[in-house]
Amino acid sequence: MNTLFDKIWDSHVVSLIDDGPTQLYIDRLYCHEVTSPQAFEGLRNRGIKCLRPDKVFCMPDHNTPTHDQDKPIEDPISKTQVDTLAANAAEFGLTHYGMFDKNNGIIHVVGPEKGLSLPGMTIVCGDSHTSTHGAMGAVAFGIGTSEVEMVLASQCILQAKPKSMRINIEGSLGRGVTPKDVALYLMSQITTSGATGYFIEYAGSVVREMTMEGRLTLCNLSIEMGARGGFIAPDEITFAYIKGREYAPKGEAWDKAVAYWSTLRSGDDAVFDKELTFNAADINPMITYGTNPGMGMAIDAAIPSLEGMSETASQSFMKSMDYMGFQPGEKLLGKKVDYVFLGACTNGRIEDFRAFASIANGRHKADNIIAWLVPGSWAVDRQIREEGIDKILEEAGFEIRQPGCSACLAMNDDKIPAGKYSVSTSNRNFEGRQGPKSRTLLASPLVAAAAAVTGVITDPRTLL
């Protein structure tokens, strides 16, 4: 009761269906090329238009190659999907940032950086990492394609109201511990289904002190705890980030917006369905060892043993160990790595590149490592160059690729080969996620950089 989630949700209720879901108004719909074509096809089959085209923004990101974007995509099926989005956007009158357009990038990187995702909004996209936009103080969540069609048709969605959860992280993060580590730690504690059915509000001193880039990373990973979404009450850090961005309110509208946004916080008497508190001092640089993001541990720890697991649980655990080529009880420090991937909607922002460069600076890429450094958007790419980070990385033997989702889900050519190990700053280590039989170790940009310069799994605190 009286939570920020209640305030935002309740102010978007159009109607309540008896013994059914809520009809919720949506302020912003983002469409990418993979989960939207069948929704547009649905509109055509029903003979209807998009109800509010000005609230919908489209951009391809999943299929886009990370090189030669000025040339046509080589894979004909990927090309068709990307072209289909452009054609659908034109047919239904929607804004579209095409591949190689200076506005293009990963949808969850572009939305906040253009000021399209604002506090108090409801935001949806056919993509589970839509939770990212929660960092702006918005209720943002991933939906399926049928639901994309609902929003295109009616600017509304039918949705049961989730329960509310507050996660407090108190204290200060230690050296080398990043927002990614906070999220991986939370998953390792509450599992990948620990927040299913809930919307999370992140709070506590760690979150209050976190930069917007860090908040975007933390909220991005809410879905990996099973949550419908996760968000952070907007504050001065949020307002400073939004001010002056292309779609941010200007002049008098800005003052009015800030006055409203300043009211967006949970009441002192707010009651959450569940409340959890964690201590920042318990959080170390993290790495995953298994095939779901909840299978994570401190980088210098050992993989758990099977002790105390049920039969189905240990069967699943051993399937995961066999896939990864690891043993229960084993340590990962010093293990040889083949690939390093910096990027994705999780860690493809400027701060992530700064962090990676802080370790790469004055060192050199290890010979056994193939590294893919993929900015989240062209805007991030421009900033990398403005700050001279590109020079540091190039001197260290790294090459910066062109923006897109890339190896996070390997829908383009950036596939980790079978059996190879990749330390990745992305969000999922599922079987085959980065290519058939690829082995993913999720980690922060610092851990990724430490692996990239040493060739093995390394505690980044030894290099800072």
Partner 1 sequence: MKAKFDIIQSTCVPLPLENVDTDQIIPARFLKATSRDEKFFGDNLFRDWRFNADNTPKKEFVFNTPAFSAAPSEGVHQILVAGKNFGSGSSREHAAWAIAGYGFRVVISSFFADIHKNNELNNFVLPVVVSEEFLAELFQTIAADPQAQVKVDVPAQTVTNLTTGRSEKFDINGYKKYCLVNALDDIDYLLQQKAEIEKYEASSVRY
Nearer to partner 1, 3 or 35 (CB): 35
**What Å distances lie between residue 277 and 134, 214, 246, 250, 265, CA to CA?**
20, 19, 37, 38, 18
Write the CB contacts of 78 (distance below 8 Å, at least 6 apart in sequence).
63, 411, 412
Q: Which of 189, 192, 358, 361 binds partner 1 (CB under 8 A)?
A: 192
Write out the H or E segment, with its range, that includes residue 440: strand 439-442
- Residue numbers 308-347 binding partner 1 by CB under 8 A: 312-313, 315-316, 319
Q: Which stretch binds partner 1 (CB under 8 A): 145-153, 172-180, 265-273, 378-386?
A: 145-153
Q: How far is the CB of 10 from partner 1 (least distance, A)?
A: 11
Nearer to partner 1, 94 or 173 (CB): 94
The reply on whether position 246 binds partner 1 by CB under 8 A is no
Measure the CA angle with vertex 319, ends 315 and 320; round to 5°.
120
Cα(218)–Cα(231) distance, integer angstroms? 9
The letter for the amino acid at 250 is K
Q: Which of 72, 93, 144, 325 binds partner 1 (CB under 8 A)?
A: 144
Q: Which stretch binds partner 1 (CB under 8 A): 31-39, 209-217, 230-238, 356-364?
A: 31-39
Q: How far is the CB of 13 from partner 1 (least distance, A)?
A: 8
- Residue numbers 5-24 binding partner 1 by CB under 8 A: 11-12, 14-15, 17-21, 23
- Written as six digits, the tokens of 249 are 């309110």
- Residue numbers 252-311 binding partner 1 by CB under 8 A: 260, 292
Nearer to partner 1, 45 or 368 (CB): 45
The reply on whether position 145 binds partner 1 by CB under 8 A is yes
Cα(119)–Cα(67) distance, integer angstroms? 35
CA atoms in the 13 A half-sphere facing the CB of 407 = 32
- Residue numbers 425-454 binding partner 1 by CB under 8 A: 428, 430-433, 436
In the chain, % helix, strand, coil (3-state, to 5) comes to 40, 15, 45
- Written as six digits, the tokens of 364 are 């050199």
- Quickly tell me which residue has 């421009």 as its tokens: 382
The reply on whether position 95 binds partner 1 by CB under 8 A is no
The reply on whether position 193 binds partner 1 by CB under 8 A is yes
Q: Which of 3, 66, 128, 346 binds partner 1 (CB under 8 A)?
A: 128
Q: Which of 4, 7, 9, 55 binds partner 1 (CB under 8 A)?
A: 55
Q: Which stretch binds partner 1 (CB under 8 A): 79-87, 100-108, 171-179, 237-245?
A: 79-87
**What Å distances lie between residue 119 and 71, 140, 242, 303, 350, CA to CA?**
38, 10, 10, 40, 22
CA atoms in the 13 A half-sphere facing the CB of 274 = 15
The reply on whether position 63 binds partner 1 by CB under 8 A is yes
380-419 footprint of partner 1 as x/- string (CB under 8 A) = -----------------------------xxx--------
Cα(186)–Cα(301) distance, integer angstroms? 16
